[in-house]
Amino acid sequence: MATRETELLERAQDALSRVIDPELRKPLTELGMVEHLSVDASQDPVVVDCTVALTIAACPRKDDIAADVQQALSTAVPGAQINLAQSVMTPAQREKLKEQLRGGKNKPTNPFTQEDTLTKIYAVVSGKGGVGKSSVTANLAAGLAARGLSVGVIDADVFGFSQPRLLGALGEVPTRMDEMILPVVVQDLKLISIGMFVQDNAPVAWRGPMLSRAIRQFFTDVYFGDLDVLLLDLPPGTGDIAITVAQELPAAELLVVTTPQQAATEVAERAGSLATMTGQRVSGVIENMSAMVMPDGSTLEIFGSGGGASLAEKLSATLGYEVPLLGSIPVDPLLGSTGDAGDPIVTSAPQSVGAQALNAIVDQLAQRKRGLAGKSLPLSF
Ligand SMILES: Nc1ncnc2c1ncn2[C@@H]1O[C@H](COP(=O)(O)OP(=O)(O)OP(=O)(O)O)[C@@H](O)[C@H]1O
């Protein structure tokens, strides 16, 4: 009996080690959330008792966790009676967990500036609003996540935060574990938006220092875990937020989005040139809203042409290294409608012209890796 019990217990433990917390994205066993697990094989049916300690009482995903545990245990011990209970971690247990999540540090720190970080950081910028910077960010993020990379998005576009809508997380609220904030998990990526922390959609009323403080807090208090890529959607132009990001995330590389119009290109050049002052690298130019492909196969240049290539050339000359044009995304009405539906075009309509252009850029970014020294490896370009 004892051997069978031990074997069933091991199977149950093994099954629980594969149940992932939906917000922290780590196994429950690793997070210390399995408070009790026992198997009584002397009963018929076999009885499995399990208590899961939730991180906070108001855990919004507690039903999902219960369902996943139930499923895992009933598969591991078929026919067993599963008695599942939930408790809540004590403040001391939570403190220990937070320290573990911060990699042994007992105070919040910015993980993206640590020597050993392997996260590649891209700040998506544009000279002016409405060029599609947010749509591009959402699609690059969803595309990278669809390729199996661990992706985080910070929506720092205080004047037009739109990532929750574009990624289908409208109305979702991040869970707080004391001072630690857990990003919303959507499209297989982790998202935090300034829009999730304001009432009445009005952060524009905040003053610069308040905004900068809020963004700074995102880097220390939001638990992203190990990310391959972090994408930031910055407000258009070269304001306080861009400066704060440059100070707090010096390793962030810029992706400059422009339309093919020459006027937009000139404004975008200023945003890109800011990199000379901040010391950030401009990783590439993305031209958006380029020629629309008509049903008969002809093209229509609604917003002019050549802006992306010309911006890449100008930035290369100003910055003294090659700034590539990573791609041109055509005007594609599907890009707008999928964005409104919260279903990024790269995954929801991959055959569309817009998605193909975006996915070609995603492929280039997916190959780039961050070097351990905290600097981009020259070979990655
Ligand atoms: N390639 C495209 N084809 C068709 N519509 C597009 C394309 N790119 C963006 N759009 C649409 O253009 C509008 C502006 O896009 P978006 O909000 O992404 O721009 P933005 O640069 O982030 O603006 P802001 O900085 O003001 O927030 C949206 O309605 C979006 O759906």
ipTM over 0.95: yes
**Cα 65 to middle of ligand 1, angstroms:** 37
Query: Is 106 part of a structural domain of the chain?
Result: no
Q: Any long-range contacts for 146-150 (C-beta under 8 Å, 24+ apart)? A: 146/188, 146/346, 146/347, 147/362, 147/366, 149/228, 149/229, 149/366, 150/225, 150/226, 150/227, 150/228, 150/229
194 and 61 fall within a common domain: no
Which residue range is the domain that position 53 belongs to? Answer: 2-101
State the total domains in the chain. Answer: 2
Q: Whose CA is nearest to atom 11 of ligand 1?
A: 336
Same domain, 136 and 89: no
Nearest CA to ligand 1 atom 6: 336
Residues in CB range of 15: below 8 A, 6 or more apart: 72, 73, 75, 76
Nearest ligand 1 atom to the CA of 235 is: 25
Domain stops at, among 83, 101, 119: 101
Q: Are residues 88 and 172 in the same domain?
A: no
Residue nearest to atom 19 of ligand 1 (CA): 132
- Ligand-binding annotation for 307, yes or no, is no
Is 314 found in the same domain as 271? yes
Q: What is the whole-number distance in angstroms between the Cα of residue 372 and the centre of ligand 1?
A: 35
Tell me whether residue 128 is annotated as binding: yes
Above 70 in pLDDT, residue 296?
yes
Q: Does 62 lie in the same domain as 133?
A: no
Tell me, in angstroms, the distance from the centre of ligand 1 to residue 153's CA: 17
pLDDT for residue 196 is more than 70:
yes
Q: Are residues 169 and 255 in the same domain?
A: yes
Q: Does 169 lie in the same domain as 295?
A: yes
Residue 376 domain-assigned (yes or no): no
Q: Is 133 annotated as a binding residue?
A: yes
CATH of the domain at 137: 3.40.50.300
Does the beta carbon of 143 lie inside 6 Å of ligand 1? no
162 lines ligand 1 (CB under 6 A): yes
Same domain, 311 and 221: yes
Look at residues 101, 135, 163 and tell me which one is the last residue of a structural domain. 101
Quick check: is 143 in a domain?
Answer: yes
- Is pLDDT at 381 greater than 50 in this prediction? no
Q: Report CA(154)–ligand 1 centroid distance (Å).
A: 18
| Residue 168 annotated as binding site | no
Q: What is the pLDDT of residue 1?
A: 55
Please tell me whether residues 55 and 137 are part of one structural domain. no
On whether residue 290 sits in a domain, the answer given is yes
- Indicate whether residue 131 lines ligand 1 (CB < 6 A): yes
pLDDT for the residue 188: 94
**How much distance in Å is there from the Cα of 359 to the middle of ligand 1?**
17
Q: Among the three residues 77, 101, 125, which one is the final residue of a domain in this structure?
A: 101
Q: Which of the four pLDDT bands, split at 50, 70 and 90, describes residue 369? A: low
Which of 7-16, 57-66, 340-349 has the weakest average pLDDT? 57-66
pTM for the whole structure: 0.88
Same domain, 284 and 163: yes
**What's the CA-to-centroid distance between 7 and ligand 1, angstroms?**
57
Q: Is the pLDDT of residue 377 over 80?
A: no
89 and 193 fall within a common domain: no
251 and 295, same domain (yes or no): yes
Q: Is 331 in the pocket of ligand 1 (CB under 6 A)?
A: yes
Is residue 127 part of an annotated ligand binding site? yes
Which ligand 1 atom is nearest residue 135's CA? 18
Q: Whose CA is nearest to atom 31 of ligand 1?
A: 336
- Higher-confidence position of 178 and 50: 50
Between 180-184, 264-268, 309-313, the lowest mean confidence (pLDDT) is in: 264-268
User: Chain-wide mean pLDDT for the chain?
Assistant: 89
Does residue 119 lie within any of the structural domains? Answer: yes
Expressed in angstroms and rounded, the spacing between residue 61 Cα and the centre of ligand 1 is 33
pLDDT at 375 exceeding the cut of 60: no
Atom of ligand 1 nearest to the CA of 138: 18
Q: What is the pLDDT of residues 39-73, one digit of tens each?
A: 999 999 999 999 999 999 988 899 999 999 999 99
